[in-house]
Structure 1
Amino acid sequence: MTHEEGDRVPDDPQYDDISVDGSVPDPAAGSAFRAARDFLLDHRDDYEMAYRDFRWPKLDTFNWAVDWFDGVLATERPDQTALWVVEEDGSEARRTFAEMSATARQIAAWLRSVGVRRYDRILLMLGNQVELWEVMLAAIRIGAVVIPASTLLGPDDLADRIERGNVDHVVARSVDAAKFADIGGAWTRVAVGAPVAGWLRYDQAYDFLGDEAIEGRSRADDPMLLYFTSGTTAQPKLVAHTHTSYPVGHLSTMYWQGLRPGDVHLNISSPGWAKHAWSNLFAPWNAGATVLVVNQARFNAPALLDAIVRCGATTFCAPPTVWRMLIQADLGAWTVPLRECVAAGEPLNPEVIEQVRAAWGVTVRDGYGQTETTAQIGNPPGQPLKPGSMGRPLPGYRIVLADVLTGERVPDGVEGEICLDLDERPVSLMKGYLDDEHTAHVMRDGLYHTGDVAVREADGYITYVGRTDDVFKASDYRISPFEVESALIEHEAVVEAAVVPSPDPLRLAVVKAYVMLADGYEPGPEMAREILRFARGRLAPYQRVRRIEFAELPKTISGKIRRVELRGAENSRTRRAEHEYWEDDFPELRNM
């Protein structure tokens, strides 16, 4: 596939001067990165100093795979396990830093032999398998741009990504090759697994003996990753990250997670989404930790906990959905070696944190970030936690809360949109969307607008309220879905809940909860009455849940609840659903 020159090559005449061999580490770049990383490791228990004195490294050129992975990790930790993939059948694959480095160089050489060049775009659609990390490291080395894609995507989604992403090459599992059969284009096809007619065999790379011959070095602001957002409220946008915004930017994520050299870090995340790069690539390898992956076709809490114990996992990151399913098990039956536990993706409910602490003596620390950034806000190790708060700004981030309508900064105690001050733009902020209109919208008024609403207290702690699209009014009161949902899941029968406005002729809108029940509980009027009564005792009167429906919650394929879909269902509904109950059905609740 061919492109206009300006479509992929940044316009900078100085680039011509960067002509050294791109496959050779630059000690100066690696040293600058290391100094920033070591500062955070040295001050992991001193938040005030880390936040006050941390500075992003200033880099003109940087290639994380060459300057850091090869130049430091593979050199200083050659025999440490870099990647450990555990399968359900008990089989596993382990690779050291030295082995990963050598293989990545070989894969890079082979990819170049089949036409991959700097700035080319590679759609990468693999599961949690060793080849995924090999291709990521190889593509970064070359300077190619990776577009991660979930294996759950169907032909229509893939056609959209190939067209809008201007894809030059596809690397995918053989079992998924048929999804691409009707997608036209002159892009290179590489199959990982069994041979596929018309596709190159990835296995051939292991026998390739050619030279990488990478021309020049990667500039710090060269494109490296293109992520399609998960699309909870609209069509996915393409988020562009550079050779510094994610590799260097995830120093904040490493700090929040409390990672140390030599740790064994387990993260529950599917390839194709930014959180996978957060915790299965950059943050742990920035620290010099082992990436541990436990593959499960269907979530199995006992098997996962067995693996944590057997593999000696010291740090663990999982989305709230996983934590909510984990606490359904008897956590105290496992003596886990975990030192740090964190949650990200959506806010974690306080009840879950308390149950884990009671069972393991470890506090699950919340954190906040986006595909467009790295970890912005969080509770670092050793810092006091405030119930319901997601923590304080992380090193390298200057958080501003701004009025959603005017963009004016709001004082402590007042709800505002979480924003980043562009006068102190963090390295970790995306380069932009591949859409000038969307980029201009979120970068307006000298701020980067996240679309999330929060409140900051005088001590700097920030409490999440909700997406600007999710917060709504009922009887003229502002309702934060997260607060109501947190109260609901404290009930033992509730695994997950999603709160949306439901049209009402008197109040215009009332609070409705969609509830997914735990195993062993059945939907019905008695269960509805019990949950409504339970919620009344934990919520303010204006937050009162007046309608409840038992149902599966719609989610993006990255696992986030699509409240926009539930709101749409409410607005178009003409009659009650089968398992829907209103407070009016229970006269005894009216006077509570």
Structure 2
Amino acid sequence: MTVNSPPEQGTATEEFRAARDFLLRHREDYDTARAEFDWPRPAEFNWALDWFDTIGERRDGIALWIVDADGSEHQVSFRAMTHRSNQVANWLRGLGVSRGDRLVLMLGNQVELWETILAAMKLGAVIIPATPLLGPADLRDRIDRGRARHVVTTSADAAKFADVPGDYTRIAVGESVPGWESYADSAAAEEGFTPDGPTRADDPMLLYFTSGTTAQPKLVEHTHVSYAVGHLSTMYWIGLEPGDVHLNISSPGWAKHAWSNVFAPWNAEATVFIYNYTRFDAAGLMTQMQRCGITSFCAPPTVWRMLIQADLSTLATPPSKVVGAGEPLNPEIIEQVRRAWSVTIRDGFGQTETSVQVANTPGQAVRPGSMGRPLPGFEVALLDPVTGEPADEGEICLALQPRPVGLMTGYADDTERSAEVTRAGHYHTGDVGARDADGYITYVGRTDDVFKASDYRISPFELESVLLEHEAVAEAAVVPSPDPIRLAVPKAYVVLAGRHEPTRETALSILRFAREHLAPYKRVRRLEFYELPKTISGKIRRVELRGRENELHRSGGGAEGEFREEDFPELTG
């Protein structure tokens, strides 16, 4: 590995590069990195202009490499990506996109996604990432509460906006769509870009909608520093170096995609590699990993669980850096991968609100079940949820003096919630962990009812709200039900209304209704008619239902009278 020597201090770019190079030099020296790392805190910084555009001046490497299921592929150099994003920025400026404007970006893993991300950053526009899985109801929320002035999506998804009101610029990638601007026209724009002025480091850059326990998703606001600079910690966790070819399996629209498909690899001057499969195929994935020389690999536990069911030995040259994120990995999975690839999967912990806070870093011992130790730049405290005092097991919190760079500004348009999570000198994650004598932290669970299904974060409230719209449903509570592949799937406990009977036909009607009104990743996959346990004040005790699900799982099956999605060929056929 060749690491550029630390530059003379002065500009924001030099400050960022010095911090980056320090972490590269101490990639396997955790103690030194923890003790001596300082976050760069420039007053003005635009990562796309001040960092990404400088990479092409030092190396003519590949920035983005996309392989599609049909065998076609696209490689874009850092230099070419700089020129192309300049063109897109100039073209968007001509359409009226300006500093501070909010832009919904709903594209798949295609070159135009990265071009638009960089272009929007150069203009100072605020990106609202959106997964293509979203339907019209979710999009209305993003346009309305996000106060979006522009939308970039594919021609195929343009129809989803037909019933989404608002005075916003409509831009379609692909075939021409009546009433929409054609992204292809950007190819005629100038390749040189001049910003309209400096970008303040605390200017907003990203606005993420994330599930919560309230009626509406939270809006997490990040700046040009909190995510771009903050993900130096993610680069350090993965162990990325210049010239690496990094494959991260994540869908656009989610924070993890920005973590490991934009900022962490490009901070390291590594290649972002994408394999666009239509249906997950472990053997096909490993064939591409071997052919393309993947050196670094990140995947959620759902993918790791499917990979170990295949023959891992078919990958003759496995990546030297492998990590998992999204939920804790079973030690058995880690051991099977270690036996087959002679590398150890390293867990990491972070949130949409932060970059990676806690992780197993390169060169350090990995303890089974532990997600590691605090990353350089983060002071982590475990606080008793009741007393607020330090504890061996408690809520994972970040000290705010000094405030870590890799932390959100707050929840947009919600000062009360922002103040709540940053009370008493700490940012409160809402997650619980246990720390051993050597500082290793093991994840325990959420302090609220949000749960993960596959790698997606699910808010019970959102799913219950949809179920309650069905005429047969009087009450509903959604909890995670253990699943061998997805870790957990949403299960609905339902109290019927009026004269409705707990029959197969009723269950089918409710599941079909949920399927039609929820995005695929939020789908209710199991249902049971059940009297809901409640507190004396009438609140549903989901903790009791979660305990019941875990007990049913330990006993070897579901409850008598439980209905599962796979029981209905008319749903899954």
Question: Where does the alignment leave 5 or more consecutive residues of structure 1 unmatched?
Answer: 1-25, 472-480, 486-494, 501-511, 520-550, 587-592
Distance 2:305 2:174 in 1: 35
Q: Pairwise mapping of residues 242-391 of structure 1 onto structure 2 (< 5 A)?
A: 242-391=223-372
CA deviation vs aligned residue, 1:259-278 (integer Å, no higher than 9, x gap): 01000000000000100000
Kept in 2, the 8 Å contact 1:345–1:560? The answer is no
Q: CA deviation at 1:87?
A: 0.3
Provide the C-alpha distance between the structure 1 equivalents of 2:177 and 2:394, rounded to a whole number of angstroms: 53
For 1:36, the equivalent position in structure 2 comes to 19
Query: For each residue in 1:5-52, what CA deviation from the matched residue of structure 2 results, as whole angstroms up to 9, or x when unmatched?
Result: xxxxxxxxxxxxxxxxxxxxx971110000000000000010000011
Q: CA deviation at 1:282?
A: 0.2
Post-superposition Cα deviations, 1:515-563, rounded to whole Å, max 9, x if no partner, equal 43579xxxxxxxxxxxxxxxxxxxxxxxxxxxxxxx9xx9x97969999
* 1:125–1:148 CA contact under 8 A, matched in 2: yes
* The one of 476, 481, 489 aligned to 1:514: 481
SS class of match (1:423): coil
Are residues 1:461 and 2:440 paired?
yes
Unaligned runs of 5+ in 2: 1-8, 461-478, 487-510, 534-539, 559-573
Compared with structure 1, are the counterparts of its residues 405 and 64 closer, same or farther at alpha carbon in structure 2 (3 Å cutoff)?
same
Residue among 35, 41, 65 paired with 1:52 = 35
Aligned to 1:66: 49
SS at match of 1:371: coil
Aligned mates of 1:342, 1:125 — CA distance in 2: 27
Residue aligning to 1:184: 165
**Structure 2 vs 1, CA of residues 565 and 379 (structure 1 numbering), >3 Å: closer, same or farther?**
farther
CA contact (8 A) 2:63 2:272 kept: yes
Alignment partner of 2:221 out of 216, 240, 253: 240
Is the CA contact (8 Å cut-off) linking 2:305 and 2:485 kept in structure 1?
A: no
Quick one: distance in 1 between partners of 2:531 and 2:68? 39
Query: Under a length normalisation based on structure 1, what TM-score does the superposition of the two structures give?
Result: 0.77
Counterparts of 1:565 and 1:245 in 2: how far apart (Å)? Answer: 41
Q: Secondary structure at the match of 1:455?
A: strand
Paired with 2:239 and 2:258, the residues of 1 have a C-alpha distance of 17
Greater CA drift, 360-369 or 292-301: 292-301
Q: What corresponds to 1:445 in structure 2?
A: 424
1:45 counterpart letter in structure 2: E
Question: CA offsets, 1:225-268, max 9 Å, x none?
Answer: 00011447763200000000000000000000000100000000
Task: Give yes or no for the alignment of 1:132 onto 2:113.
Answer: yes
Task: Give CA deviations for 1:159-206 in whole Å, capped at 9, x if unaligned.
Answer: 001101000100001100000001111100000000001000000001
Paired with 1:427 and 1:361, the residues of 2 have a C-alpha distance of: 35
User: How do residues 104-119 of structure 1 correspond to structure 2 at under 5 angstroms?
Assistant: 104-119=85-100
Preserved CA contact (<8 Å) 1:270 1:558: no
Aligned to 2:492: none
TM-score with structure 2 setting the length: 0.79
* Secondary structure of the corresponding residue to residue 267 of structure 2: helix
Cα distance in 1, alignment partners of residues 292 and 162 from structure 2: 40
Secondary structure of residue in 2 paired with 1:424? coil
Q: CA deviation at 1:422?
A: 1.0
How many percent of aligned residue pairs carry the same amino acid? 58
The 3-state SS of whatever aligns with 2:63 is strand
- The whole-number CA distance in structure 2 between the counterparts of 1:558 and 1:33 is 40
For 2:57, the equivalent position in structure 1 comes to 75
- Deviation track 1:306-326 (CA, whole Å, cap 9, x = no partner) reads 111011000000111111111
- How do 1:469-484 residues align onto structure 2 when only pairs under 5 Å count? 469=448
The correspondence for 1:90, drawn from 52, 71, 78, is 71
How many residues are treated as equivalent by the alignment?
Answer: 488
**CA distance in 2: counterparts of 1:393 and 1:567, whole angstroms:** 44
- Indicate yes or no: 2:392 matched with 1:425: no
CA contact (8 A) 1:112 1:212 kept: no
Deviation (angstroms), 1:514? 3.4
Residues 409-433 of structure 1 show CA distances to partners (whole Å, capped at 9, x for unaligned) of 22xxx31000011112101100000
Over the residues paired in the alignment, what is the CA RMSD in angstroms?
3.4
Letter in 2 for 1:30: T
Residues 133 and 520, structure 2, Cα contact 8 Å, conserved in 1: no
Equivalent residues in 2 for 1:134-149, closer than 5 Å: 134-149=115-130
CA gap of 1:394–1:569, structure 2 versus 1, over 3 A, is farther
- CA distance change for structure 1 residues 27 and 105 in 2, over 3 Å: closer, same or farther? farther
Residues 566 and 161 (structure 1 numbering): CA distance in 2 closer, same or farther, change over 3 Å? farther
